[in-house]
Amino acid sequence: MMQMYNPPHPGEILRELCLEPLGISVTKAAEALGVSRKTLSAILNGRAGISTEMAIRLSLAFDTTPESWLTQQTQYDLWVTRQKPQKLKVERLFVANPT
């Protein structure tokens, strides 16, 4: 899979492609999804990620797949983690090829 450059947070996608075109408020969307307004607001503002349960809720509400939401979240999380300046201290573990 090709690495995305600075992918948007899934909450941004949710707001711009799902809620805004339908003219749905955060309060109405939260009610429809069965979550609190605070929970949905945190996702929309990039302060929380899409959980597996939320991915299923979104897939049912917007006729998408849970995998599409989780893929967006994973791409975003990987990009953010790769931007951190510190190097991860990891010892490589692998089996050498026998010659």
pLDDT digits (tens, 9 = 90+) for 16-52: 999 999 999 999 999 999 999 999 999 999 999 999 9
> Which tokens is 92 given?
């490589």
Q: Average pLDDT in the 65-88 region?
A: 91
Look up the CATH number of the domain holding residue 40. Answer: 1.10.260.40
- Domain count along the chain: 1
DSSP state of 15: I
The answer as to whether 48 is a domain residue is yes
Q: Average pLDDT in the 3-14 region?
A: 88
Q: How far apart are CA 54 and CA 30, in angstroms?
A: 11
The answer as to whether 88 is a domain residue is no
The answer as to whether 93 is a domain residue is no
The answer as to whether 59 is a domain residue is yes
* Residues 44, 17, 57, 66, CA torsion sign: negative
Q: What is the pTM of this model?
A: 0.84
